[in-house]
Structure 1
Amino acid sequence: MNAAIPHPDCSDLSDAELARRFGARDPAAVRAITQRHNQRLFRAAWAVLRNHAEAEDVVQTTYVRAFAAIESFEGRASLSTWLTRIALNEALGRARAARRRRARLDADSVTDLDQYREKLMQGSKAQDGPETAAAVKQVSRLLEAAIAGLPTEFRLVFVMQQVEGLSIEEIAQTLGILPATAKTRLVRARRRLQQALEADLKDSLAGAFPFAGADCAALTERTVAAICGDD
C-alpha cells in the first residue's frame, strides 16, 4: 500500500494537487473530494435513475472508478466536471441495462414491474434527523414525482440548473452538448413542470433530494476504506 500523505486541511489545494493526493490514497484528500462532491454526484445520478439507493451506489462506484483512472485526469475540465461525467456514464449504463432487462420480460412480468414504479419514483428515501425533516417540509412528494416524470434529457438539465445551480455553460460542458441545446432542454423542462410547480420553486428546491448527514458521512468512510485500505 502506498503511504498516505498526511494533510488535515485540503480546502486550499488545486484540483490537480487534490487529484494527486487522491491517487496517493491520502485519506484527507479522499474525504475532501467526497464531502465536496457527494451531493452533486448523487443528484446527477438520481436525475437518471430516480432511485435513492441506486444513485448512492453510483456515487461510490464513481469514486472507485475515478481512483482507478486518476492518472487520466489532465485538469482540462474541473475535477467536479470530470467526476460528474463518470457518474453520469455509470448511471446511464445502469439505466440502459435496466431497459434491456425490461425488454426481455414478457407482458405479465411488465405488469408486475409496474407495481413498483410509484415506489421507485419517490426519489429520496425517508430518514430521521433535522436535515431530512427540513427537506421534507420544503419539498413535497408531488414535486419529486413531477421532476422524476420528465424525460431523462430534460430532467438532467433541470436538476443540474435548478437544484445544483450550475450555469448553462457548465451543464453543456458536463453533458458534452451545445449551450443552446442545454438551454432549450431547460426551457422545455420548465414548461412541462409549470402547472405543477409553485412560483417560489427555486427556494423550495434548496433542500430537495437530501444526501447529507449520516448517509453522506457513511459513504465517505466507505470510500476512504475502499481506496485507502490495505490491498
Structure 2
Amino acid sequence: MAPNVVATQFDASSKSDHELVALAAAGHAVAFEAIMRKNNRLLFRTARAIVKNDSEAEDVVQEAYLQAWRALAKFRVESKISTWLVRITVNEALGRLRRKHLNVIPLAIAMKDPSVSHSDSLSERTELEPENNAIQDQMRALIEKHIDALPDAFRVVFILRAIEELSVEEVAQSLDIPEATVRTRYFRARSLLRESIARHTDTALANAFGFDGLRCDRLVEGVLTRAADEGLIAPARE
C-alpha cells in the first residue's frame, strides 16, 4: 500500500539525497519533488538518447519517477539515487521501444556485451542579440541531429559522459556495463561525432560566400560596361 502523502514543508536544499529518499518513502511529497527537480535533466537526456523523441522522453521520465516512487522502500542506501533513477529510466525507455516492435537489440546487447560492434558510419544559450540567439539555436539543433545519428549504445554513453558529465564509474553503474566498455563507447562516439560534423562543415564551407547566378551576371555586366566606357573593349552592339 502506498504511504500517505505528508504535506509538511521543510528546506529540501539542506537534505542529503538519502535523507530525501527516506522522507519521500515516509510520504513527504516535497522530498520527492526535490528529488525530481535535481534529476529531471539527467533523466530526460537519458530517455531522449534512447527514444529520440522529446515528447516520448518526457513520458518515459514521468513513468520512471512513478515506478521509483512506488519502489522507494527497495532503494539501497549504499547506491546513488541518480544511478538508480537512470537505470529505471533506461529500462522504461527500452520497454517502450520493445512494445512498439522496434529493433532495440543493438542497445540491449551493448549494455551487457563489450564485444558488440556497430557501424562506424554516421550519415548555455547566451543572452545576446536575437541574431546570435538564432545562431545558437541552429547550432544546438545541428549538434542534436548528429548526436541522434550515433549508434544507440554510443549515444547513451556520450550523453551521460559529455553532456551530463557523469564519471566513467557512474555511467557503468547506471547502464550496468563494464567501465572499459564505457571508455570505448565514449571514445568512439566522440570520434564519430567529430567526423560527422566535419563532413557537414566541409560541405557548408565549400558553399560559403557563393557567387553565381544573378550576382555573377551582374558583376560581369558591370565590368564589361565600364571597360567599354573606358575604351578597353569595343562597345557592345545593339
TM-score, normalised to structure 1, is 0.67
Q: Contact conserved, 1:146 with 1:196, CA < 8 A, in 2?
A: yes
Contact 2:46 2:156 (C-alpha < 8 Å) held by counterparts:
yes
Residue type at the aligned position of 2:57? A
1:171 aligns with 2:171: yes
Letter in 2 for 1:50: K
**Aligned partner of residue 13 in structure 2, secondary structure:** coil
| Residue 96 of structure 1, CA deviation | 2.0
The two structures have a TM-score, normalised by structure 2, of 0.65
Give the paired residue count: 169
1:127-138 maps to which residues of 2 (within 5 A)? Answer: 136-137=136-137
Displacement of 1:32 in angstroms is 0.5
1:154 aligns with 2:154: yes
43, 46, 52: which one aligns with 1:44: 46
**In terms of Rg, which structure is larger?**
2
Q: Which residue of 2 aligns with 1:144?
A: 144
Please give the residue correspondences for 1:1-231 in structure 2 after superposition, counting only pairs within 5 Å.
2-4=4-6, 6-100=8-102, 136-137=136-137, 139-197=139-197
Q: Percent of aligned positions with the same letter in both sequences?
A: 42
Q: Deviations over 1:185-220 (max 9, x none)?
A: 01111111112347xxxxxxxxxxxxxxxxxxxxxx
1 or 2 for the larger relative contact order (CA 8 Å, sep ≥6)? 1
* Cα 1:93/1:3, change in 2 over 3 Å: closer
For structure 2, the residue ranges without an aligned partner over 5 or more in a row are: 105-129, 199-238
Pairwise CA distance, 1:53: 0.5
Q: Work out the CA distance in 2 between the residues paired with 1:4 and 1:185.
A: 44
Q: Is the 8 A contact 1:160 1:171 kept in 2?
A: yes
Shift of 1:14: 2.6
Structure 1 position 100, deviation (Å): 4.7
CA contact (8 A) 2:17 2:35 kept: no
For residues 163-198 of structure 1, give each alpha carbon's deviation from its aligned partner in whole angstroms, at most 9, with x where no partner exists: 101111111111111111100001111111112347
Q: Which runs of 5+ in 1 are unaligned?
A: 103-129, 199-231
Going from structure 1 to structure 2, the CA distance change for 1:188 and 1:99 (only over 3 Å counts) comes to farther
Instruction: List structure 1 segments (4+ residues) > 4 angstroms apart after TM superposition.
Output: 133-136
Per-residue deviation, 1:149: 1.0
- 1:147, distance to aligned residue in structure 2 (A): 0.7
